[in-house]
Structure 1
Amino acid sequence: MLRSMNDLEDYAIRATDGTIGHVKDFYFDDQAWVIRYLVVDTGSWLSSRKVLISPIAIGHPDWTEKVLPVSITKEQVKNSPDIDTEKPVSRQHEIDYFGYYGYPFYWGGAGIWGGGIYPNMMMPDYAGFESKPLGEGPGTDEAYARADTAQHQHDDPHLRSCKEVMDYHIEATDGDIGHVQGMLVDEETWAIRYIIVNTSNWWLGHQVLIAPQWIQDVSWSDATVSVNLTRQAVKDAPPYDSAAQLDRDQEIGIHEHYGRIGYWTTETKHENTKPGR
Structure 2
Amino acid sequence: MESKHTHVPPNDLTRFGTPSAFRLQVESGKETQMFRSTNELNGYHVLATDGECGTVKDFLFDDESNIVRYLIVDTGNWLPGRKVLVSPVAIDQPNLDTRELPTVLSRENIETSPSLEDSLPVSRQKEVALSSHFNWPMYWGHSDSSLDHHSSQTQVVELDGNPHLRSVKEVIGYHIQCMEGTLGHIDDLIVDTESWSMRYLVIDTQNWLPGKKVIIAFDWITHFTWEDKKAHVDLTEEQVRDAPVYDPRLPVNRAYEVQLYDFYGRPTYW
Q: Give TM-score scaled by structure 1 length.
A: 0.82
* CA distance in 2 between partners of 1:90 and 1:16 (Å): 28
1:48 is aligned to 81
Contact 1:91 1:157 in 2 (8 A): no
Tell me which of 92, 97, 109 is aligned to 1:64: 97
Cα distance between partner residues in 2 of 1:95 and 1:249: 42
- The secondary structure found in structure 1 opposite 2:55 is strand
Structure 1 partner of 2:17: none
Residue of structure 1 equivalent to 2:194: 188
SS at structure 1 position matched to 2:47: strand
Tell me which of 145, 159, 162 is aligned to 2:165.
159
Residue 86 of structure 1, CA deviation:
3.4
Q: SS at the partner of 2:77?
A: helix
Compare the two structures and name the one with the higher strand fraction: 2
- Cα distance in 2 for partners of 1:122, 1:106 equals 11
| CA deviation vs aligned residue, 1:98-152 (integer Å, no higher than 9, x gap) | 111111111222322xxxx2x3x4234xxxxxx33xxxxxxxxxxxx4xx32x33
Q: Does 1:97 align with 2:130?
A: yes
Structure 1 position 155, deviation (Å): 6.1
Aligned partner of 1:238 in structure 2 is: 244
Bigger RCO of structures 1 and 2 (CA < 8 A, at least 6 apart): 2
Secondary structure at 2:109's aligned position in 1? helix
Higher helix share: 1
Q: Which residue of 2 aligns with 1:123?
A: 150
Helix, strand or coil for the counterpart of 2:117?
coil
Select 1:4's aligned residue among 37, 62, 76.
37
Once the two structures are TM-superposed, the CA of residue 167 in structure 1 deviates from its matched residue by 0.9
1:61 maps to a residue whose letter is: P
SS at 1:96 equivalent:
helix
Q: Find the aligned partners of 2:47 and 2:199 in 1 and give their Cα distance.
A: 26
Q: Are positions 1:211 and 2:217 aligned together?
A: yes
Residue type of the alignment partner of 1:9: N
Let me know the Cα RMSD of the aligned residues: 1.5
Larger radius of gyration: 1
Which sections of structure 1, spanning at least 5 residues, go unmatched? Answer: 125-130, 133-144, 265-277
Q: Percent sequence identity over matched residues?
A: 42
Whether the 8 Å contact between 2:239 and 2:264 is mirrored in structure 1 is yes
2:179 aligned residue:
173
2:204 is matched by which residue type in structure 1?
Answer: N
- Partner Cα separation in structure 2 for residue 51 and residue 246 of structure 1: 32
User: What is the letter of the counterpart of residue 123 of structure 1?
Assistant: H
Q: How far apart in 1 are the matches of 2:160 and 2:81?
A: 30
Select 1:77's aligned residue among 87, 97, 110. 110
